[in-house]
Structure 1
Amino acid sequence: MTPTPPTPPTEDHHPLPTRLNWLRAGVLGANDGVISTAGLVVGVAGATTSRSALLAAGVAGLLAGSLSMAAGEYVSVSSQRDSERAALEKERRELAADPAAELEELTGLLAERGLSREVAREAAEQLTERDALRAHARVELGIEPDALADPWQAAFASFVSFTAGALLPLLAILLPPPGLRVPVTVAAVLVALVACGRVSARLGGAPPGRAVLRNAAGGALAMAVTYAVGHLLGTTGG
């Protein structure tokens, strides 16, 4: 009895790995917003107790960071999208020029994934009959043709996630009285970094302990260094 070939992939335009990648990117963007803005406002707090100076520095850092993240993500994802489109166009030309060779190639790729040669051939024929370009894009290139990376979506997500992360240290440094600003900010930032570390580790399937420790330690070091530099400059300037 001939084994039943695998069912062709379903029309899922947002597969789970893609959604997880976006979620992980959002968590990392928020994490960057927390650390960079916390380092900035704590450094300024080491030099001055002026709320207006803290507000100006914090808002400037938030906008600069979020716009920089958005622009960088737009450029990066645009390059990725261009590469994906070029690969799809190349595959389209190869299918038009030599469909038999492309069918043999798809058969080999499926066989490399553990299928017997007979089943791989039958599956390749069915996939090719349904949509040859889509089959090669998914199996050979690892590209989902109907869900190419969207640079505007990536830029917006980076902007929002960084801004959300940056708001925490900004509010934490502005709302308490002067004597409590730095301790409250440090405590709030460390809690946020622990949460970000746990979420990013869970999304990546890694043990959370080391990720949390690295994240919190990096944030604490950044705040300590910027506070010391701000205090030194404030004292020297005074």
Structure 2
Amino acid sequence: MGPHDHEPHHEDTSALLNWLRAAVLGANDGIVSVAGLVMGVAGATTDRHTIFIAGSAGLVAGALSMAAGEYVSVSTQRDTEEALLAKEAQELLDDPEDELAELAGIYRDKGLSDDLAIQVAEQLTAHDALAAHADAELNIDPDELTSPWQAASASLIAFTLGAALPLLTIMVFGPALRAWATVVAVAVALALTGFASARFAEADVRRAIIRNVVGGLLAMLVTYGIGSLVGANPG
């Protein structure tokens, strides 16, 4: 008896899912933000050098901002988890009998009989009291805390790769085709990130793809329109 091989389990997948979440989010943000930026500049000017400078600045600034934001966010989450674990550990030292009764009550509320709930609580406490309480009360695995550096590095790399797509696309093509080529490339990329995010979350794939693509295209349309207006009226 044991876990089914085809089913994900927390201790095996939490770190991977944390990394993938940050990577997909970073790539998506990189695609949309830099695509909107270069399309806005392209709407104002056809100068390749100007577009490249703006897009490169947006890529670097966005990647660093994304990494810093993810690091701060995940660090806060980890600090909270560690504080909760420290509090739980202290409670186990101060009043182990009350904590045992609390753990048994949790399993009783889940449907176990009084005797079985007590047996389960006693055996789990004997094995690893802190892990048992952290899982039942806090939904935390002490051995699988979130990693801020992992999330930050994933966001940095993913944002850079995502942002590079619209920047390179708009630089490769000439003025007559660059806008349309960028729209097509971004739409395909956003469809892929939408598909990936939906699969990770086990959500509706079609809805995620449509939402992702429409949002990105709308952002490019708005920024291109603003750039065209500014370029037509530089004064």
TM over 0.5: yes
Instruction: Map Cα deviations across residues 71-115 of structure 1 (whole Å, 9 max, x no partner).
Output: 111111111111111111111111011101101111111223333
Letter in 1 for 2:215: G
Match for residue 109 of structure 1 among 106, 110, 116: 106
* 3-state secondary structure, aligned to 1:233: helix
Aligned to 1:216: 213
TM-score between the two structures when normalised by the length of structure 2: 0.91
Aligned to 1:49: 46
CA contact (8 A) 1:107 1:121 kept: yes
* 3-state secondary structure, aligned to 2:111: coil
1:187 positional shift: 0.3
Instruction: Map Cα deviations across residues 108-165 of structure 1 (whole Å, 9 max, x no partner).
Output: 1122333333222111111111111111111211111122122111111111111111
Aligned to 2:78: 81
1:172 positional shift: 0.6
* 3-state secondary structure, aligned to 2:233: helix
Q: Which runs of 5+ in 2 are unaligned?
A: 4-8
Task: Name the CA distance, whole Å, in 2 between partners of 1:116 and 1:21.
Answer: 36
Aligned to 1:137: 134
Aligned to 2:152: 155
Letter in 2 for 1:46: G
1:22 aligns with 2:19: yes
CA contact (8 A) 2:15 2:146 kept: no
* 3-state secondary structure, aligned to 2:46: coil
CA contact (8 A) 2:15 2:144 kept: no
* 3-state secondary structure, aligned to 1:232: helix
Task: Name the CA distance, whole Å, in 2 between partners of 1:95 and 1:225.
Answer: 57
1:177 aligns with 2:145: no
CA contact (8 A) 1:107 1:120 kept: yes
Task: Name the CA distance, whole Å, in 1 between partners of 2:176 and 2:124.
Answer: 68
Instruction: Map Cα deviations across residues 18-57 of structure 1 (whole Å, 9 max, x no partner).
Output: 4334313321221111000000001111111111111111
Aligned to 2:198: 201
Task: Name the CA distance, whole Å, in 2 between partners of 1:37 and 1:172.
Answer: 11
TM-score between the two structures when normalised by the length of structure 1: 0.90
1:122 aligns with 2:100: no
1:64 aligns with 2:61: yes
Letter in 2 for 1:23: L
User: Segments of 4+ in structure 1 off by > 6 A?
Assistant: none
CA contact (8 A) 1:13 1:146 kept: no
CA contact (8 A) 2:59 2:160 kept: yes
Q: 1:15 to 1:115 in 2, by over 3 A?
A: farther
Aligned to 1:226: 223
CA contact (8 A) 1:45 1:230 kept: yes
Sequence identity, in percent?
57
Aligned to 1:3: none
Aligned to 1:40: 37
